[in-house]
Amino acid sequence: MPNSVDFSGKPFHFIGIGGIGMSALAYILAKRQLPVYGSDLKSNSHTQRLQQLGAHIFWEQNASNLEFFHENLRSDRPRRVSSTDRTHLNGRGQQPDRSLPQVICSTAIDATNAEYRAALDLGCPIFHRSDVLAALIRDYKSIAVAGTHGKTTTSSMVGFLLLHAGLDPTIVVGGDVKAWEGNARLGLGDYLVAEADESDGSLVKFDAAIGIVTNIELDHPDHYQSLDEVTQIFRQFADRCRLTIGCIDCEVVRDRIAPDLTYSLDPTAEADYCADRVTFSANGASARVWERGEILGTLELKLLGRHNLSNALAAVAVGRHLGLDFETIASALKQFEGARRRFELRGIADGIRFIDDYAHHPSEIQATLSAARLQAKGNPEEIRRVVAVFQPHRYSRTQTFLTEFAQSFSDADVVVVSDVYSAGEAPFDRTISRRLADAIAQQHQCVYYRPKLPELADFLGDLLETGDLALFLGAGDLNQIVPRVMEERRQVERDRPSVEVRSAPSYRIS
């Protein structure tokens, strides 16, 4: 592989450009007026956004995609632009640079991918997605947010704070945020805020001015054998950052990372930033914030739960380190509405609240269900049941944390489990989803197993009732059924007589 990514004008070609991480990088490059190409199997909001910037996208992943570049290298003659070629012109009406592109891959692209193999055969410079992010991080005064949980929310909070403070940051995160209408933003300021992923070990490539570590747990057993291996990756990340900010409520961060600046929700923890007078409600959270023994003021959030208050303290620490006054920080965080798929309200139909959340680890599920329970307690007239609909993510994660998953649904009244979303992983145990449902049923009195999404959507149409908070949990494609179920419930509402007596259903694992 070449040593460095070239931002001087050489084209980029992303294999799998529509992914959440790949599309964010492609967006930044396209906004920097660099030639961007890519391939994917279907259109989504991210590819549509890229096409509006002039990126050309091939709608299949095969070797012929690279021929677009190769054929024009073999000819010294000027080439007339045909009607077909006009689809390849960039958004400024110019003929693109047809030199061999820098090919960008994620860990999801393996050596058997035909497009990847064609790039190798042509001699294209090939980079991992993290190499591009690492090069961008070196271009700015960068703030890289790492951690097993909370990366997207924390990086989005920090980005929103800097935007609110007038610092015009560049932002690359793993979720869509309304404030910048997507998962990336190109600013004119000195700062870059980036989400730094540990899933494949690429975290060690980043040289950030400020590194944040929210927490450390084993979450990717397909890549790591133990918590010690994960911790070592985070230690290398921390060593490469000029300043490390960490949450010492996590013992691993406190004892193994030893961050330069610390934050904690425990006012006795002797952290640089801590909170007391904490209140959690159905509408958010509030706390009094301290900085090294001095009161800064009160912080109010729209986001639910203890975990989001902790994330906000990380943003406070960043803001104060950059010299922002607390009033500016508090004003920004009070307005922050969160990222998509992080306790995102998709809508209300027939008195049922439909919530979409990315939680796919036992700790994340517990935190999200705790937030749901807060909403239920705060609105007892509107929310009578919390219904957790869970799609396990990866066979390896489900197998490794089977016991922990079984114990993580205590705040739900009803649990529905679907089949594993493999994320490209080989299905080494096709019974694992059913075994997970059985394990949850040992801890919970009301559990259902509906493996396939069409069957699950039909089942939910009958199961859900007015007053439910339906929480769709998982990092896969479970949320695709939400619009269908919502529409079915709207139809039920339209068809229901004005007065109706409904009997309570009986529950069993089935």
Write down the pLDDT at residue 72: 56
Does any domain span residue 135? no
Same domain, residue pair 181 and 325: yes
Same domain, 408 and 429: yes
148 and 272 co-located in one domain: yes
**Is 119 a member of any domain?**
yes
| 2 assigned to some structural domain | no
Is 503 within a domain?
no
Residues 354 and 478 both lie in one domain: yes
Per the domain annotation, does 6 fall within a domain? no
Which own/partner contact pairs does 371-376 have at CB distance under 8 Å and 24+ positions apart? Answer: 371/304, 371/305, 371/307, 371/308, 371/343, 372/343, 372/411, 372/412, 372/469, 372/471, 373/411, 374/280, 374/281, 374/282, 374/304, 374/305, 375/282, 375/304, 375/469, 376/282, 376/469
Tokens of 120: 């190798």
Q: Is residue 197 part of a domain?
A: yes
Indicate the length of the chain as a whole number.
510
Q: Which residues pair with 368 in a beta bridge?
A: none
Please tell me whether residues 85 and 233 are part of one structural domain. no
- pLDDT given for residue 427 in this prediction: 84
Domain containing residue 66: CATH number: 3.40.50.720
Do both 367 and 440 map to the same domain? Answer: yes
Do the domain assignments include residue 1? no
- Per-block mean pLDDT, blocks of 10 residues, the chain (510 long): 81 94 96 95 92 94 84 46 33 50 91 91 93 96 96 96 98 93 96 93 94 93 89 96 97 96 96 95 91 97 92 98 98 93 91 94 93 88 94 94 95 96 85 95 95 96 94 94 94 76 47
Q: Tell me, yes or no, whether 166 and 265 share the same domain.
A: yes
- Given this model, what pLDDT does residue 69 score? 78
124 with 144, same domain: the answer is: no
- Choose one of 335, 360, 379: the last residue of a domain: 335
Enumerate helices (H) and strands (E) in the chain, giving the number of each.
16, 21
Place of tokens 């529409």: 487
Whether the CB-CB separation of 206 and 134 falls below 8 Å is answered with: yes
Contact 226, 256 (CB under 8 A): no
Last residue of a domain, one of 302, 335, 368: 335
Helical H segments across 32-90, by residue range: 45-52, 64-73
Query: Residue 454, exposed/middle/buried by CB under 10 A (0-12, 13-18, 19+)?
Result: exposed
Range of the domain at 93: 12-130
Please tell me the total count of domains within the chain.
3
- Specify whether 331 is located in the same domain as 260: yes
CATH number at residue 218: 3.40.1190.10
Are residues 173 and 298 part of one domain? yes
Q: Which of 335, 354, 369 is the last residue of a domain?
A: 335
Question: Which among 193, 186, 136 has a CA at the least distance from the CA of 31?
Answer: 186
pTM equals 0.84
Residues 194 and 329 in one domain: yes
Domain at 473, CATH number: 3.90.190.20
SS (H, E, C) 226-271: CHHHHHHHHHHHHHHCCEEEEECCCHHHHHHHCCCEEEECCCCCCC
Residues 105 and 206 in one domain: no
pLDDT value at position 84? 32
Q: Which one, of 468, 458, 308, lies nearest residue 382 by Cα? A: 468
pLDDT at 87: 35
Residue 122, exposed/middle/buried by CB under 10 A (0-12, 13-18, 19+)?
middle
Could you tell me if residue 432 is inside a domain? yes
Distance CA 419, CA 238 (A): 37
Using only C-alpha atoms, what is the Rg of the chain? 24
